[in-house]
A and B are shown apart, each in its own frame.
Chain A
Amino acid sequence: MTPLEILTAAIRGESAPRIPIFCNLLDQGARELGMGQRDYYRRGEQVAEGQLRMNRRYGYDNLWSLFYVGKEAEFFGCREILFADDGSPNVADFVVKEWDDIARLELPEDITRHPAWEESATCLKILRAEAGETHPICAYLTASTSLPALLMGMERWLELLLTGPADLRDHLLTLCSDFFRQQVAAYRAAGANVLLYSTPFSTPYFIGKQRFERFAMPWMERDLAPGGVEGIVYYCGMAPFNEVIPQVIEQLGIGIHYLSPLADLAEAKGSIEQRLVGQNRLTCGVIDDIQLIRWNREQIRAEVQRICQIGIPGGRPGSHFLFGTGVMPMAIPEPNIRLLLEAAFEFGRVS
């Protein structure tokens, strides 16, 4: 079976020789090509090549079209990204420095004609041509409630969200939601089929459960309404969200959940299973990959085994489970990446 078929089987609960294994080696692509990150992320061809090489080297299932998280801010006028050759790039130029700047923000009429899209489109085209038939192609899309953090910083966004004028906040969120709608349609059209809906500000960890229900949920419904939830993966940037899984399933209709390593995996899986009996669904158990920087072989294997035992009890088929990582830090030693994936392929076997 191809990785794409294995993923589809996992979502449908059909039999497959193993569970899908996702590994997110983004910035490592630059190192693989012997380039600094600033140069690497300049060209879509390079990002595609870096991702294809990482995938071939380790044999995991997914391919990423993501450059870096702050790229979305470039559509709104961000001109400076702080690159580091040992870690992920940061937004260095917030386009909203004062609340008054929000009124001046402009959303491109068609994001696929914006220069920021051009290289992403090139990357996607190559990935689709090289592996689109066999591998899931992932795209990263920031939800309307979290995108403002890339435009004004987490601190200013939280301040506006909690204490600012509601009309200004809603204007910003409308722009961000309209951007999301355009972006998700563009990624789908370009061949991405795993759409990571990144929504850390829509978690109880950030804003509490009441605000999640009253504030975040309506905006998420707005984000997702036109395009539906086909291929959408609920992801909260490593923040736990077990307690809102029922609402995410029932109100948004999302059945694929990429969990926090800090979450109670068994509880989350139980919650998803209970609400989607007989339906497509997927619980993505995520390892705490920061620990991989210093864990030894035994520790890595024990943790992968623990996660897989919860995800595929008794190694039975049809477990609706995926093993995944966070954004693997550059500091993880190469042998540990190998150990991780060897263990995932071993313990992820289904009998």
Chain B
Amino acid sequence: MIAEILKAYNEAVFETDKEAAFEVVEAALAAGLRAEEVVFKVVIPAVEEMMSSITKDPDANLAQHFMTAQIAAEVTERMLQRFAHPPAILGRVVIGTAAGDLHSLGKRIVMGCLKALMVEVVDLGVNVPAERFVEAALEHDAQVIAVSAMMVHTATSEQGARAVRRILDERGLSNRIKLVVGGAPYRFDNELYKIVGGDGWAADGITAGRIIIHLIRDVKSEQNGQNEQNKQHEEREHDPA
């Protein structure tokens, strides 16, 4: 049954038909699927399917990315209210557009995708000062800062991602908070993300979800390793032998 539901849901998303996607979800619930199953066996696999289809399907387009993310986020939000237990959150991301940049489409696609993938998103909006990104990441204990920029000057500006990088480095936060960048200029120069100090970049909003999850896992594994080292250190200090 799940395979059929997933197929119908994927078709609706591919056609960017939001109503049809919701109908598939309602029908699945009526047929006895639990809210958890809708999210983990339908919505998340559909987002992952879109991630892999982007590289294979020449007709995968921005409208599909947008609707995939919006539908996934809305379905997930609705289903979370019906979950028996709150789900485990993968991590937390602070997102916004670079200082001077008012383009929010890419950010919205990334946010929708991340929400469906069980990543908490703190949206700082548009035209965000670099300091605000770092403050918010610390305040919310986020593993990743995501800076979107649609124009070359906002992508490369000393007030944008470069400034976030500088603050993270100066404050010794680079292992604790990773910086990911995205937007049109990075598609035209695939090395640009390194120049502005990004730890990663994505060519589109959907694959950004994958990159961000990898970075969250990196930070967490580094933190776990650090915690383990601290624990061993403490144990050695307390061991009289």
Contact = CB atoms under 8 A, between A and B. Distances in A.
Interface of A: 82, 84, 86-88, 90-92, 153-155, 158-159, 161-163, 204-209, 211, 238, 243, 261-262, 288, 290-291, 293-294, 329-331
B173 interface: no
A331 B59 contact: no
Given A84-B153, A88-B151, A208 B59 contact: yes
Contacts of B80: none
Contacts of B184: 238
A291 B16 contact: no
Interface in B186-207: 187-189, 192, 195
**Chain B interface, DSSP helix/strand/loop, else mixed:** helix
A88 B18 contact: no
B152 A155 contact: no
Contacts of A84: 100, 153-154
A206 B60 CA distance: 9
B102 A154 contact: no
Given A208-B61, A331-B152, 20 more contacts: A87-B100, A87-B152, A88-B153, A90-B102, A90-B151, A154-B103, A155-B105, A159-B66, A162-B16, A162-B67, A207-B63, A209-B59, A211-B63, A238-B188, A262-B188, A288-B188, A290-B188, A290-B192, A329-B153, A330-B152
A329 B189 CA distance: 13
A293 B63 contact: no
Contacts of A208: 59, 61, 63-64
Contacts of B188: 238, 261-262, 288, 290-291
B62 A207 contact: yes
Nearest to B108: A155
Interface of B: 16, 18, 58-59, 61-64, 66-67, 70, 100-105, 108, 127, 151-154, 156-157, 184-185, 187-189, 192, 195
Contact of A329 (B59, B63, B100, B152): B152
Contacts of B66: 158-159, 162
Contacts of A82: 100, 102, 127
Contacts of B102: 82, 90-92, 153
B100 A153 contact: no
A204 B16 CA distance: 14
B30 to A, nearest CB: 24
6 contacts: A86-B153, A155-B108, A158-B66, A207-B61, A288-B189, A293-B189
